Every structure is written in structure tokens, then in C-alpha cells.
Amino acid sequence: MLMPVSTGPAVVVCNTCRNSANAREDEHGVRGGARLADALRAVQGSDSRYTAIAIQEMPCLFACSDYCTVHLRAPGKINYVMGRFVPGEDAARAILDYAAHYALSEFGQVPYADWPEGVKGHFITRSPPEGFVAR
């Protein structure tokens, strides 16, 4: 059931997420999560700032009402779940821009001034790393 992956900074994409609040798939029968994963990989491949961030996929993050969700995580850092993205290049770039700041942060907290516009309003949850709680 579990598959080992790299333990560094990662964006875990729900590859079975709905395309939108109203549609499970796009006009070609592709789920939004799969489209977002493809967009993340394309944007990552176009900019060396994102090479340290793994793009990982798994089916269903259980955030179905918040379609197109991702889980941002790294060892010893606060984790975030974000969703309600329109799957495509703009969302992928905003997620990766935030992830780049996140990867460089000490505890996973990125100053609001450094948040890309495209992630504002998309945070669903944050959770502490194992063995910690946030103050």
C-alpha cells in the first residue's frame, strides 16, 4: 500500500482529484489532479529553481470538496495541504514558487510577503511534523 519516495521537499499531488467543483474530468476525460501533476512537471523542467522539489503523486488525498489538491511536505517542517486550483501552468508555477520558499525556510513557515498570488486563498490545512506542534 505504501511506496517509498524521496524524503526531501516534495509536492504530493492527488492525481485523482476532480477537475473543478462541478466537473470530475475535463473535456478530454482527464482528471484535474492528473493535469495538475503534468503541469507541475512541465514547469519544474523549465526552471532550475525547482529541481530540489520532488513532484510525487498518489491517489486521493481525501480533500475531495477542495479539488486539485496538493500536500507540501519536508522533514522537520510544517506540512500544508492546498487545493481549489485550476489545473495548469499558472497554478503549477505558483505552487512551485511557494515550494521553493518553503524548501529554504527553517521550519516551513514562509513570510506572507513571499507568497505568490496564486496560492493565496488555497490553503486548506497545516500540520506539524512528527514530534512537534507549532507555537
Structure confidence by residue, pLDDT tens digits, 35-83: 999 999 999 999 999 999 999 999 999 999 999 999 999 999 999 999 9
**pLDDT, tens digit, 9 for 90 and up, residues 90-124:** 999 999 999 999 999 999 999 999 999 999 999 99
Sheet of 70-73, strands arranged across: 54-58, 10-14, 70-73, 79-82, 123-127
Q: Are strands 54-58 and 10-14 parallel, antiparallel or unpaired?
A: parallel
pTM score:
0.96
pLDDT of residue 116: 98
CATH numbers and ranges of domains, the chain: 10-127 (3.40.30.10)
Query: Looking at residue 131, what DSSP letter applies?
Result: T
CA distance linking residue 34 with residue 51, whole number of Å: 20
pLDDT band at 135, cuts 50/70/90? Answer: confident
